[in-house]
Amino acid sequence: MLHETMVEAVGHTPLVKLRCGGGESATVYAKLELQNLFGMKDRVGLQVILDAKADGSLKDGAHIIESSSGTMALGLALVGTYMGHPVHIVTDARTDALTLAKLRAIGSTVEVVREMGPEGWQSTRLGRLAELLDENPEAFCPHQYENPSNPAAYSSAAREIIEDLGRVDVLVASVGSGGSLCGTARALKAANPALRVIAVDAVGSVIFAQPDIPDRLQGGHGNSVVPKNVDLGVIDEIHWMSDAECFQSTLRLALEEKIFAGNSSGCVYKVAEWVARSMGPNQRVVAIFPDRGDRYHHSIFNPDFIQSRNLDRSDLPQTPHQVPYGTVVHQWSRAMLSDPQQGQTRRAGE
Ligand SMILES: Cc1ncc(COP(=O)(O)O)c(C=O)c1O
């Protein structure tokens, strides 16, 4: 496929039929967002920048400043620097060396905050971001948690899926800001209002009414704040996964499907596989895989790390425990939101 610019090369990701479905079960297709130039949020970087240029909030040559520890930083740095904007990323000590090297190599500047504040790393980063924006009033900050351009970025992914498959019956995706799941779901639902939408979150993430576990190991998906871009109105069902379940499934995804991906893909894989088994043939499940496994080589793909943290336990459940929404969960669990008695009037975090 020929593209005239790197920016035009964002998206157009493969959709691959997995081995885990088929036969008597539904077929599972993986949307390999990890095959973007950097990862899934290249689409978001592109959309927020184009929208901000169109509405005048990003002037030619103005700075772009954002707090991010991974895929969003890379997407913004890619598109922002390509279009001639200095991009400045505020991050913290948890960001891996590979991501820092990529960010610097393509010409963005990175500021790593060193002190954890009373409310964790996130609050220190947001404090520094606010200072930088005060010092530079012309700068543009995408605010991915509340910016509608974040979910809107995935209408292109949904269009690609519909072009490839036509009808989709179930969408499974992880949730961090809510952009990828809710944006893709809204666009797919426009084509099939009966689409079943399954969100996957980490045990210890507060997005769906759970208590915070700040030292959870899963990253990318999950959050310690509740983003406005999480729209419960499009979600039917939520699954939570523990660190051990998520990491073991990420390892299995590499072994069984040959997809070397990050931990959010791992837990989405487990849920997609499970839901396909509960459905009949001729049904289609689409699973979104956000990033590659490279930056997890010291953790998930390091047997010493897995053993030292007791993440290789063999007593993990093979099916989710069904709970009413609001029940505190510790292992693979699911709650329904589309029950008319329950979720329709809820907001994320409640
Ligand atoms: C690797 C990875 N997976 C999943 C997510 C969650 O995606 P979203 O923010 O669209 O909810 C993110 C978000 O940053 C991520 O970086």
The matching CATH number, chosen from 3.40.50.2000, 3.40.50.1820, 3.50.50.60, 3.40.50.1100, for 15-35+149-339 is 3.40.50.1100
Query: Mutate which of 68, 72, 171, 177 to test ligand 1's pocket (most atoms within 8 Å of Cβ)?
Result: 177
Q: Measured between alpha carbons, how far is 127 from 136 in angstroms, rounded to an integer?
A: 14
For all residues of the chain together, what is the average pLDDT? 94
Q: For residues 167-201, b (16+ Cβ closer than 10 Å) or e, as one string?
A: ebbbbbbbbbbbbbbbbbbbbbbeeeeebbbbbbb
How much helix, strand and coil, in percent to the nearest 5, is found in the chain? 35, 15, 50
Across 296-311, average pLDDT: 97
* Nearest Cα residue to atom 15 of ligand 1: 220
Going from the Cα of 170 to the center of ligand 1, the distance in angstroms, rounded, reads 19
Residue pair 132/139 in contact by the 8 Å Cβ criterion: yes
Which residue, 49, 37, 40, 46, is CA-closest to 180? 40
Q: Is the distance from CB of 43 to CB of 12 less than 8 angstroms?
A: no
| pLDDT at residue 317 tops 90 | yes
Ligand 1 midpoint to CA 177 (Å): 7
Using the atom order of ligand 1, give the atom closest to the CA of residue 262.
Answer: 1
Taking the centre of ligand 1 as the mean of its atom positions, its distance from the CA of residue 23, in whole angstroms, is 31
Ligand 1: nearest atom to the Cα of 180: 10
The residue whose CB lies within 8 Å of the most ligand 1 atoms, and thus the one to mutate among 32, 34, 38, 41, is 41
Q: Ligand 1: which of 47, 264, 269, 292 to mutate, judged by most atoms within 8 Å of the beta carbon?
A: 264
- Ordered by start, the domain boundaries in the chain are 15-35+149-339, 42-135
Q: What's the pLDDT score for residue 109?
A: 97
- Taking only the tens place, the pLDDT of each residue in 21-65 is 889 999 999 999 999 999 999 999 999 999 999 999 999 999 999
Same CATH topology for 15-35+149-339 and 42-135: the answer is yes
Q: How many angstroms is it from 176 CA to the middle of ligand 1? A: 5
pLDDT surpassing 80 at residue 350 = no
* Separation of alpha carbons 258 and 347, rounded Å: 38
Distance 218 CA to ligand 1 centre (A): 11
| Residue 345 pLDDT grade (very low, low, confident, very high; cuts 50, 70, 90) | low
The answer to whether domain 42-135 has CATH 3.40.50.1100 is yes
pLDDT digit string, tens, across residues 102-153:
999 999 999 999 887 766 777 788 899 999 999 999 999 999 999 999 999 9
Q: How far is the CA of 24 from the centre of ligand 1 (A)?
A: 32
What residues are in contact with ligand 1 under a 6 Å CB criterion? Answer: 70-72, 174-181, 220-221, 262, 264, 290-291
**Residue where the block lists tokens 């961090």:** 176
CA distances from 227 to 198, 221, 233 (A): 17, 12, 14
Cα of 175 from ligand 1 centre, angstroms = 6
In sequence order, the 6+-apart residues with CB closer than 8 A to the CB of 255 are none
Atom of ligand 1 nearest to the CA of 71: 16
Which pLDDT score, from 0 to 100, does residue 122 have? 75
Position 343 scores a pLDDT of 46
**What pLDDT, in 10s, does the model give residues 166-185?**
999 999 999 999 999 999 99
Q: Which residues pair with 238 in a beta bridge?
A: 199, 335
Closest CA to 126 of 80, 168, 75, 92: 92
pLDDT at position 269 over 50: yes
pLDDT at position 339 is 61
